[in-house]
Chain A
């Protein structure tokens, strides 16, 4: 019996078909969902995108950042500055914000890559604080109390409120799909192989000729740019920004970290499951206020201590299942199928 190496499996092909059907259904949401449901789904897609990006950063590149709110807030402020101060149409301001985020990330990376491990994490937080305090000094955008997106900027986005809400929804859906697609493409590429090698053993990866600094730098700048773009989208939905809302460590980093940890860090499936769990919890417990946040913290600690690979990690350890075909499998050997786990 001949042996061959494949990446896809019957499960991943089935998942792809099912995923496509769900995507078509979601894309048609403006015709079947109410306004409140669409807003919620839009928020889910944006959190899914943030979680996927943080997972790429921390779960694959080993860059544990607790300061991604720097870029979410930067995106929001870039949107407001470009539309209010420079008169750029909102739809153009969103990709421009992403570009600006990537540019800003270059000197930031050069500076904070000097800190290692856990100190890198707190260094990213310092950067976010600098951005927050800086934004509070911009009096043209309301200083410390923030500002709203002017009505004419909002009206120029689309004709009518329904059309605008549908547009914001599709943008969120489109960005989530693009971010997941990009993460998938990166992980299947040479860069992804380098990332997984350095995640598993940095010293061994370096001895195989992988330029660690460069690999991490590329991932940091790319995720920063995309996070900034998502930040602009988030505040297109919110229509109002203040330094505390834009650069909130709880909203844009704590929740995102909990999503990834609970779902399963270092897998593409993890953030998806984590986002669904997070929103299911939030929708049922949100009126309990801070008790809900305490419960979330407890769940994250228990998962980290008892099941560090998260929900998806538990499923994969039992079944070897992989919805996104990233690892290679050898077929046709005596054992029917060898899933080599996370090591591609």
Chain B
């Protein structure tokens, strides 16, 4: 029963990892950019949620109504102001610039909020759970999982059924031709980053409700998101959800064997998958 419980809890945790990964997957798909600061942006969103919910005295989930647009605006500004200038054939500039951003964000948060761990208080819902036989499913993890699936479904629908999605796919396929067809590449990339950081905002607030956080944990969240993307296969957003769930199950099974092995087990599952299927389980595009 413990093992079944570990698998169920791991699956729910995987929803959060898929949310970490969705933003990464989206911007890689549209502009081939790997954002090293992604994890730190997740942590930034958690701190924004903390400041807004305590300053306004509102529930962290309500604060999302403000955190999401703020992060989206930040994403657009970041893309137009800095990241668009790094894009080209060479992978080094975007990598190093986002690495610099990561260091700036981490130390900026440290300066403002100190290194003390913080947590978002979500009230009674944090401990409430649904009992199914011997399994106890927390309402909060269930809600987060449902939100992750809904967000990923919405991204998928947006990508294939809207004008914006068509613009994303067109620039992803051929940037120069898309530009000739009247799409402003810089603006499209700005919108993609805005959307990615809107998703990141939700991921950050969920993270803050689920566990305590401090400015140094961004790198770890980036790695979880990245592992979910690679396990699922590049360019496949449902694959990313599957990747997140596999990673979550790997971690909770590892923790079941030995509490110290949780994160390590997740990494080993990832390494095993790239050893067997280097392109991930359900790839749609090449790296």
On A, residues with C-beta under 8 Å from B are: 58, 64, 66, 111-112, 114-119, 121-123, 125-126, 129-130, 133-134, 136-137, 249-250, 254, 257-258, 261, 265, 290-291, 293-294, 296-298, 300-301, 304-305, 308
Q: A294-B108, A300-B100 are in contact. Are A126 and B264 (CB under 8 A)?
A: no
Listed A/B pairs (8) with beta-carbon separation below 8 Å: A66-B95, A117-B34, A118-B33, A119-B287, A133-B267, A254-B99, A290-B107, A297-B100
- Residue of A whose beta carbon sits closest to that of B279: A114
User: How far, in angstroms, from A304 to B287 measured CA to CA in the complex?
Assistant: 24
**A116 to B92 alpha-carbon distance, docked (Å):** 13
Within 8 Å CB of B260, what residues of A? 136-137
Q: Are A254 and B92 in contact (CB under 8 A)?
A: no
- Across-interface contacts of B94 in A (CB, < 8 A): 118
Main secondary structure of the interface of A (DSSP, over half): helix
**Cβ-based interface call for B91 (8 A):** yes
- Give complex CA distance A291, B267 in Å: 33
Complex: how many Å from CA A137 to CA B254? 14
A116 to B95, CA, bound (A): 13
Stretch at the interface among B1-9, B58-66, B218-226: B218-226
Which listed residue, B91, B100, B107, B263, touches A64 by the CB 8 Å rule?
Answer: B91
Q: Is the CB of B274 within 8 A of A123?
A: yes
Name B267's closest neighbour in chain A (CB-CB): A130
Bound-state CA distance A72–B56 (Å) is 46
A4 to B204, CA, bound (A): 63
Is B72 interfacial (CB-CB < 8 Å)? no
Choose among B92, B93, B111, B226 the residue that contacts A119 (Cβ–Cβ < 8 A).
B226
Report the minimal beta-carbon distance from A342 to chain B, rounded to whole angstroms: 14
**Inter-chain contact A125/B110, CB cutoff 8 Å:** no
The CA of A118 and the CA of B32, in the complex, are separated in Å by: 9
Q: A121-B34, A130-B264, A257-B99 are in contact. List 4 more A-B contacts (CB 8 A).
A: A121-B36, A257-B96, A291-B111, A297-B100
In the complex, which of the residues B34, B110, B263, B271 contacts A122, with contact meaning CB atoms closer than 8 Å?
B34
Selected contact of A115 from candidates B36, B91, B110, B230, CB within 8 Å = B230
Contact B263 A129 (CB under 8 A): yes
Whether B274 lies near A111 (C-beta < 8 A) is yes
B275 contacts A293, C-beta separation under 8 Å:
no
Question: Does B227 touch A at the CB level, under 8 Å?
Answer: yes
Q: A64 touching B95 by the CB < 8 A rule?
A: yes
Asked if B270 is an interface residue, CB under 8 A from chain A, the answer is yes
Report yes or no: B93 in contact with A308, Cβ–Cβ below 8 A: yes
A290-B111 in contact given A64-B92, A249-B219 (Cβ < 8 Å): yes
CB pair B223 A122 closer than 8 Å: yes
CA distance A101 to B85 in the complex (A): 37
CB distance from A327 to the nearest CB of B (A): 21
Instruction: Count chain A CB atoms within 10 A of each CB in B86, B92, B96, B97 and give the residue with the most.
Output: B96
- A301, B100: Cβ atoms closer than 8 Å: yes
Tell me which residues across on chain B come within 8 A of A58, comparing CB atoms. 92
* Contact B103–A250 (Cβ < 8 Å): yes
In the complex the two chains form, what is the Cα distance from A136 to B267 in whole Å? 15
**B170 / chain A contacts, CB cutoff of 8 Å:** none
B186 touches A (CB below 8 Å): no
Contact B91 A129 (CB under 8 A): no
Across the interface, do B278 and A114 meet the contact criterion of CB distance under 8 Å? yes
Task: Return the CB mask of B98-112 against A: 1 if under 8 Å, else 0.
Answer: 011111101110110
The residue from B34, B85, B103, B271 contacting A118, defined by CB atoms under 8 A apart = B34
Q: State A290–B112 Cα separation when bound (angstroms).
A: 10
Docked-complex contact B267 and A117, CB < 8 angstroms: no
Contact between chains at B278 and A119 (CB < 8 Å): no
**Residues on the B chain within 8 Å of A265, using CB:** 92
Interface membership of B164, Cβ < 8 A? no
